[in-house]
Amino acid sequence: MDKYIISGGGRLCGRLRVQTAKNSVLPILAAAVLTDEPVAVCNVPDITDVKNMVKILSCLGCKISYRGQDVVIDSSCCDSCEIPRALAHELRSSVFLLGSVISRFRRAKIAYPGGCDIGLRPVDLHLTGLKRLGVDISECNGYITCSCQKLTGNEIMLDCPSVGATENIMLAAVKAEGTTVIKNAAREPEIEDVQNFLNFLGAKIKGAGTGTVVIEGVKKLGGGDYQPIADRIEAGTFLIAVAMCGGEMELGGINAENLSSLLHKLRENGCKLRIKNDKIYIRSDRRPVAVKSVETQPYPGFPTDLQAQMTALCCVCAGNSIVTENLFETRFKYVPELKKMGADITVIDRTAFVRGVERLKGAVTVAHDLRGGAALVIAALAAEGESEVLDISHIDRGYAGFEYKLRALGAKIRRVST
C-alpha cells in the first residue's frame, strides 16, 4: 500500500484548475449503457472509482477506448445484465447501473454495492423507485435481481432527497412509457449535470436541481461528446487547505455558486475571497477564526463530503466549533487520527465538539475513507514536523494527482510505495 510523507508548516500559494466532478462522471458513465451510439465523456479524472466503473462497463460488453483524458463508450455490443460481485463491492456507484441496465435489458443483477465505510447507505429508496416503474425485485444471497416486461412512468415520492436514488430513477425512467415525476428529489448540481447529459442525448427531462424532476419517456437516445461540470468537493478541499495552512490561491474552472455554503464558512473563518467568472481567489494571512457551528445538510446546505476537511480546519481555529453530521452515522472515523496530531475533539453521537489548538503536530495516521483521508493530508500540511498518511488508496478513489496538485502550491508531500 502507498502512503504519503508530508513535511508540514508551510504556506500554500499558486494556481490550480479543478478536475471534472467524480459525482457527475460516475452516473454519466453508467448512463452510457442507455444508447447504442458512442458517447465520449470528456476530461475524466484519473481516479480509482472511474477505473472501476469502466471495468464494470467492459464486463457488460461495452467497448471502451481513450482519447487523451476522454473516455469513449460504445455500448452497441453490450450483452450482459450482471454487474460482477467483486467490482460492485469496490464501487458504491455501481448501483447506478441498475437503472440503466434495467432500462436496456428489462433485467439486471447486481451484488450489494460497496465503497467507503462511512455508515449505512441502504439502496431501499432506489429499489422502491424502480418498483414504482414496474420492476419486480428479489434479494437473495447478497444479490439484487430485477426484471420487468416494460417500464411505465409513475409518480415517485422519495422519503428523503437521496442523490443516488434520484439519479437511478432518472436513468430507469428516461426510456419508460409515459411520464415519471420524482418528488422530494435531491437538488445537487451533479443531478442537474446528469439531466443535461441525458437531454444532450435526446431525453426529455426537466426540473433537476429542484425538488421535482419530470421525465417524459423517449424511444431512443443518441450519442456525442459531453463535458461534465467541475468537482466542487475537490475545489472545497483545496480552499480549506489554504485556509488551514495560510497562503493564497487562484482556483479555476469552478462555479462558485455550487460552493456557496462553504464560501460562507470560509468568510466567517476570516479568509479573503474574490470571485470572478469561473475563478475563486482565496487569501488566508492569519490564524483562522472558529465558526460556531457546521451542520451537514442536503444541497444547498453544507456538503457531507466536506465535513471531515472542515473539521480539520476547525482544529486549528481560534475558538471552539460544533460540527454535526446529519447524513451518515459513522463519518467521524478520522477523528482519532487527528487526535494523534494533537487535535482536541470530543465526539458524542453525530456531533463533534472541537476546541481549536494553535498548532497540530506531525504523526503517523491512517486514512479510513476518501474524505477523511483528504482531511488528514491537509491537517498534516498545517502541522509542525513530519507526518505519514497510510492507506492512501482511499484518497485515490476521488482525487486525481492529489500530491502533484499540492506540490504545485508549494506543499512538501511525496508518495512512497510500501
The set of cell numbers assigned to 276 is 470572478
Q: What is the C-alpha to C-alpha distance for residues 240 and 199, in angstroms, rounded to an integer?
A: 34
3-state secondary structure of 341: coil
Q: Which amino acid is at 68?
A: G
The set of cell numbers assigned to 359 is 498548532
Q: Is there a contact between 307 and 335 (Cβ–Cβ < 8 Å)?
A: no
Question: Residue 231 to residues 23, 75, 259: CA-CA distances in angstroms?
Answer: 8, 26, 10
Q: What is the C-alpha to C-alpha distance for residues 249 and 107, in angstroms, rounded to an integer?
A: 49
Residue 245 annotated in active site: no
Q: What is the C-alpha to C-alpha distance for residues 113 and 248, in angstroms, rounded to an integer?
A: 40
Q: Which amino acid is at 203?
A: A
Q: Is there a contact between 391 and 3 (Cβ–Cβ < 8 Å)?
A: yes
Which among 321, 378, 330 is positioned nearest to 355, based on CA atoms?
Answer: 321
Q: Is there a contact between 173 and 152 (Cβ–Cβ < 8 Å)?
A: no
What phi and psi, each to the nearest 5 degrees, are found at residue 378?
-70, -30
Active-site residue, selected from the candidate residues 78, 116, 146, 245? 116
Question: Using a CB cutoff of 8 Å and minimum separation of 24, what contacts does 43-48 make?
Answer: 43/19, 43/69, 43/70, 43/227, 43/228, 44/20, 44/69, 44/70, 44/71, 45/19, 45/20, 45/231, 45/400, 46/400, 46/401, 47/22, 47/396, 47/397, 47/398, 47/399, 47/400, 48/393, 48/396, 48/397
Q: What is the C-alpha to C-alpha distance for residues 312 and 242, in angstroms, rounded to an integer?
A: 12
Alpha carbon 405 to its chain centroid, in Å, reads: 18
Which among 299, 293, 291 is positioned nearest to 271, based on CA atoms?
Answer: 291
Active site residue ranges: 116
